[in-house]
Structure 1
């Protein structure tokens, strides 16, 4: 409304219909430009309405606003207010002690239509607005705390959505489920080896030969030629599949450069992909040297056989280095015997302070070997990861983070040759500082130049004067004991004859702390050790 309002009502006890001025509403608002004009009186009339709560008749004042909508048709009256149908115009007001309610024309018309003719007012029929759409009740989900779930976040409501479901659809889904091939992998991505399973549409699996981080090695047969092979089945994990591509590239290079296998590296026959597993097929060989040592109760090899092993290993690794390739994971597990057949001999073992004891020992018929597992092989020009090599055969420069190259393979070979001689690993540890302390027990103190580099790279391992900080206060008693029990190299390899003296000298040069002073594998092939004659008892 754009004009001021003057409210009138019949005072209690009055019998006339004259209306006296009322005080305006207390709500304040800005005054418009027409509020003080003479035409500010508003037309209104009084109507009767049924109270929806009590059922009584009450009076309401209807304001005739100036909307373009035509006013409702009302029975003619000369007065702006007319007697109510019950003859008491102020009965409801007196009874309640309050002013008549204010309604708009649309509300009054709707109320009159509800009276169904109980009063004489004729009003236009107003269609009520459509009812508001009510939200469907959604079944409440159980409280998450009932199932032991976290109550930090409210449990999400599940929408009640009708999903089409017929017996035909269910049967079709069931048939698809039954037709789906069963999983061939375990939870770690290893291929589940089953006897007589066919891989590559050609090879029938016979048995599992071994398992490692990379995957599994199985024995298989080619029915067309009845030839037995070894298949390395890589885990169905992206990083291992990617590493296998590097190994395949190296194997192809080795076979291409050495087709007659003079340098004793494993030869690739073929590769294929079977159910998301990369399969590498190679010749079938005997057991690895570590397994042979284990079956032989970790008794050492004869010195003559150690000399043959050393000659072949140096030839294999020198061949790799000539191709600018570093193996990085040399260990007895990665050296396979071509034929692991052996004879058993009975000997008398003597130990200081003990009585001689009869023992049995296996002696190999054939010392021919093959170097395997090129999954970690790295070209010198390509990226070098921070840590390589298995712990017991890891070079000191790798432990100290000084970088590594071809000399790390030479160090691993030195550890392997000592293990052939004693039957047990030279450095049996799993801690870096303890490992370095054992190295100093075997080889003496680190050279000053090398220790200075190590202290700059790993200061936590050194103390003042670039000396190895061993033992630290928190070192266990067992660790101290293990380091003290480590023997000096010349006590491990006693220089009792020419063969041992040359062998000791070769191992010492292979285990040198400083990689720049360590003997190269190519030079080691010309060492006097390989020209020394082995005694009959060796």
Structure 2
């Protein structure tokens, strides 16, 4: 027992002593740290502040040098621009300037690290190159402008007897000339900062009006983008026969100029058709119609414009016509705005216009574009003539098209796609007569659909027998022949279709005619009643029941004299 007790006691003691020894060893043993030691500060905070101030001064110094360099380059550029030296001096001056470019000695620079000095040199060189590149871009833009202006100058006409001189004559008859010698001298200057050192090269110095072998480049310059001839006052065309004096107007098919015939000394009007195949064919068709009218009316008694001849110029078909003073629309603007022309002039103009229509009907020709713009008046304003037969067709040659005739003067059979005859000219003439009487347009629909609504506001619903004949009736009427009005929604702005079953007449033709002529004498008031009756019959919606041209000439408004 004693031995076992002693052995247990010794074992327990050894465990306790081992445990104490391990604690003591832990206290004395040092462990190696795995984290890196903290850096030891070598410089103080004041030294860092000083270093920051030094860097800031260096940056200010770099910015100052940059500004001075820009200023110096601008001053040199201004001097060079004022002097305008020749090419050799410019190249030499620019090379010497770049070679002699040295750092400024009057500015003290603190010694900086190699890295900072390298950055400064790079910034300086990049800045100078940037300025030079910027000047080059500005010069390029100026040269493009100069190129455009010189091309416009080169496009002007040059007479054969002039010696290396280009004339640019505008419509205000102001003349500007630039000689070939000036162009050549401009070519010699190639200063990199110059604004006048570029001129397009021309293959030939002299260009004649009627040379048929001109370059394609010049050929393009005769016309504008839409194919109209670029009219220039003073141009001599058709083998030096006609000199252009003024531009009279421009239409869909052509522009019209006033010219002087050098052979007779008289003035003529020349219609220069647009340069494309469709307009050329249309122009040839108009020539045929005008010749037919001239043959039927050699003494020009029936108020159609007289045709003299035709020729080709720069790819354009040109029609030489009788000159007149102004068109009827200009007359209405000048003498009849808001109230129309006087009743006596109206009667005379109506009779003359109807006589021209009677001649066309006799020849089987439909004008198909009667409106105030296509009616001309002489200088005394007592003679009226119908012109512009570009849309004219033979009666057996027409096909339904919804856009024939200008929209405000377009008859309902054209909009609906019904085969048409001379009635379309009667309808357009009625609209023109109303405009002469009141100074206002009779129907002002913004589309074909709106035009039909305007017709029904004045004349009531279009008969079903007429609608059924229409090729395009489904665009405007449903299966019950109720009108489908196309209009925009007030809130969404989208187009919507509204079915109108009941058509009410909201206009009174007599009141409108009388309103424009207040306080009329008894005789004139009677003529207004007759005019209202004539227009009502000329504006019948069914073209088969519409008044013919012959019956219009027999109407009391035309036949009876004005009672004083």
For the aligned pair, the TM-score class normalised by the smaller chain equals 0.5 to 0.7
Q: Pick the aligned partner of 1:500 from 528, 531, 537.
A: 528
Q: Pick the aligned partner of 2:364 from 324, 343, 368.
A: 324
* 2:379 matches 1:379: no
Unaligned runs of 5+ in 1: 1-172, 342-365
Q: Could you report, residue by residue, the CA deviation over 1:278-316 in whole angstroms, capped at 9, with x for unpaired residues?
A: 110011101100112223445401111111111111110
Q: Could you report, residue by residue, the CA deviation over 1:26-84 in whole angstroms, capped at 9, with x for unpaired residues?
A: xxxxxxxxxxxxxxxxxxxxxxxxxxxxxxxxxxxxxxxxxxxxxxxxxxxxxxxxxxx
Offset of residue 450 of structure 1: 2.1
1:230 paired residue number = 269
Change in CA separation of 1:453 and 1:236 when aligned onto 2, cut-off 3 Å: closer
Offset of residue 385 of structure 1: 5.1
Larger Rg over CA atoms: 1
- CA distance, structure 2, for counterparts of residue 499 and residue 415 of structure 1: 18
Offset of residue 473 of structure 1: 7.0
2:172 paired residue number = none
- CA distance, structure 1, for counterparts of residue 377 and residue 489 of structure 2: 43
Q: Which runs of 4+ in 1 moved over 6 A?
A: 475-480, 483-486
- CA distance, structure 1, for counterparts of residue 407 and residue 202 of structure 2: 52
Q: Could you report, residue by residue, the CA deviation over 1:202-258 in whole angstroms, capped at 9, with x for unpaired residues?
A: 001111111112121111101232101111111111111110000000111111110
Q: Could you report, residue by residue, the CA deviation over 1:151-202 in whole angstroms, capped at 9, with x for unpaired residues?
A: xxxxxxxxxxxxxxxxxxxxxx967365656332222211111121111110
* 2:485 matches 1:489: no
- CA distance, structure 1, for counterparts of residue 447 and residue 472 of structure 2: 17
Q: Pick the aligned partner of 1:437 from 431, 450, 453.
A: 453
Change in CA separation of 1:322 and 1:219 when aligned onto 2, cut-off 3 Å: same
1:415 paired residue number = 431
TM-score with structure 2 setting the length: 0.56
- Provide the aligned C-alpha RMSD in A: 2.8
Offset of residue 528 of structure 1: 1.6
Change in CA separation of 1:174 and 1:514 when aligned onto 2, cut-off 3 Å: same
- CA distance, structure 2, for counterparts of residue 184 and residue 473 of structure 1: 44
1:197 paired residue number = 235
Unaligned runs of 5+ in 2: 1-199, 207-213, 516-521
Secondary structure of residue in 2 paired with 1:487: coil
Offset of residue 413 of structure 1: 0.8
- CA distance, structure 2, for counterparts of residue 403 and residue 434 of structure 1: 21
Q: Pick the aligned partner of 2:305 from 235, 248, 266.
A: 266
**Mapped contact 1:401–1:458 kept (Cα < 8 A):** yes
2:378 paired residue number = 338
TM-score with structure 1 setting the length: 0.58
Q: Which has the larger share of strand?
A: 1
2:131 paired residue number = none
Secondary structure of residue in 2 paired with 1:284: coil
Q: Pick the aligned partner of 1:515 from 521, 534, 543.
A: 543
**Mapped contact 1:499–1:533 kept (Cα < 8 A):** no
2:476 paired residue number = 461
2:295 paired residue number = 256
Q: Pick the aligned partner of 1:309 from 346, 349, 355.
A: 349
Offset of residue 336 of structure 1: 0.1
- CA distance, structure 1, for counterparts of residue 486 and residue 278 of structure 2: 39
Which structure 2 residues correspond to residues 135-284 of structure 1 after superposition, within 5 A?
176=203, 182=218, 183-201=221-239, 202-284=241-323
* 2:562 matches 1:534: yes
Change in CA separation of 1:252 and 1:189 when aligned onto 2, cut-off 3 Å: same
Offset of residue 486 of structure 1: 6.5
Offset of residue 403 of structure 1: 2.1
Q: Which has the larger share of helix?
A: 2
